Every structure is written in structure tokens, then in C-alpha cells.
Structure 1
Amino acid sequence: MNTYAATINATEYPPHLKHKVIFETFDQLQPQESMLLINDHDPKPLRFQFLSTHPDGFNWEYIEQGPTTFQVKISKL
């Protein structure tokens, strides 16, 4: 069973706050800690943003890939 330092259900936030909350949470993780992101669509654009801002600092692993729920384990390296 996976243990996460934080869980974010992105559907609970207004669109203009989602990425802000996700990145603030990620920044608070210690190295090797993970957070779980839950969303109602594939968060591919967020992954591209992580690649841009933290190119070698994260790992992205799908736990569930739709069709209605997407769960991603995002780990800080």
C-alpha cells in the first residue's frame, strides 16, 4: 500500500487555484516523499509544466487512468 505525504483532489479547487495548490504542495514535500493527485481528466498539461519547472526533480506515475477518475503519484526526487 502506498503512503502519501499529501493528497490533492483537484476537483475541489477552482480552476485558477489548481496548479498553484499542486505546486505549493509539491514544494513542501521532502525528497523521496510523494503526493497523490486526483482529477477528473488526464492532467497531461500539468505534467508538461512539471517538466518545465522541475525537469529532473520529480517522478510521475499513473495509479488510475480514467475514464472518469485519474490518480497520479507525484514523487519528489
Structure 2
Amino acid sequence: MTDRQLDVREEIPARRHELIFSTYHALTPGEGFVLVNDHDPKPLYYQFAAEHEGQFAWDYLEEGPEVWRVRIGRVATA
């Protein structure tokens, strides 16, 4: 199964986090999606860590300089 890709590069900055979190909340445990962004989404990582500690996975697939791709997943709970 291939992860869905969410490309937010053309979205206005105010809408990006809304799209990302709605995509995350629609995942079932064990699923993920690939975020495509035009900058390092490190602040987003910190927001996930604060709001969903231990419930998400974050794996860089590509780290710039023009495109960042990060796989974000919902961790399967035991």
C-alpha cells in the first residue's frame, strides 16, 4: 500500500497546518502520508510532539534545499 501524498507548497501558509492535521486525524493506526513542503517543517514536528506525543511517526524522506518530504504516520497502539 502506498502512502497518500499531501503537497502543501501551493497552499497559503495559514491553511497548511489545518490540512496537515485533518489528514493526520483521518488516518487509522498504522497508516501514514507523505508531506511535501517548500521548507523544513520542523515547527510542525514540535506541534505534533506537543499535541500527539507518542502517537505519531516522523521520517524525513528528502531534506531540501527546495523540497522537503516527510512521512507522517499514526502509530499503531498496543
TM-score band, normalised by shorter chain: over 0.9
> What 5-or-longer segments of structure 2 have no aligned partner?
none
Alpha-carbon separation, structure 1, partners of 2:11 and 2:51: 22
> What 5-or-longer segments of structure 1 have no aligned partner?
none
- In percent, how many aligned pairs have the same letter? 40
CA RMSD of aligned residues (A): 1.0
Normalising by structure 2, we get a TM-score of: 0.91
After TM superposition, what 4+ stretches of structure 1 lie above 2 angstroms from structure 2?
A: none
Amino acid in the other structure paired with 1:31: P
Per the TM alignment, residue 3 of structure 1 is displaced from its structure 2 partner at its CA by 1.4
Amino acid in the other structure paired with 2:40: D
Report how many aligned residue pairs link the two structures.
75
Normalising by structure 1, we get a TM-score of: 0.93
Compare the two structures and name the one with the higher helix fraction.
1
Alpha-carbon separation, structure 2, partners of 1:26 and 1:14: 19
